[in-house]
Amino acid sequence: GENESRTILDAFFLGKAVAEALSERAESAAGELLSTIGRLQAEQQKQLLEFQEEVLEKARRAREEAATD
């Protein structure tokens, strides 16, 4: 009767709360993952730019040394 309906209703709301909590955690984890990927990509790009600058500087020095020889 009424007690059984109340138990079913309680179970429904408990299940709904569990689903919402899991969804929020998944969204948070996905957000953190995307943030980490973005940070790693930015670091990789920075290292690539530094490497390019280093190579260009070495080429410039080598050209200057060749010109003075």
Q: Is the pLDDT of residue 1 over 90?
A: no
- What pTM was computed for the model? 0.59
pLDDT (tens digit, 9 = 90+) per residue, 14-63?
999 999 999 999 999 999 999 999 999 999 999 999 999 999 999 999 99
Q: Is the pLDDT of residue 69 over 90?
A: no
Which pLDDT does position 2 carry in this prediction?
A: 87
d(Cα 25, Cα 22) in Å, to the nearest integer?
5
Instruction: Please name the residue that has the structure tokens 């790009």.
Output: 45
DSSP, residue by residue, 13-62: HHHHHHHHHHHHHHHHHHHHHHHHHHHHHHHHHHHHHHHHHHHHHHHHHH
Q: Residue 56 half-sphere exposure, CB side, CA atoms within 13 Å?
A: 6
Backbone φ, ψ for residue 33 (5° rounding): -65, -45
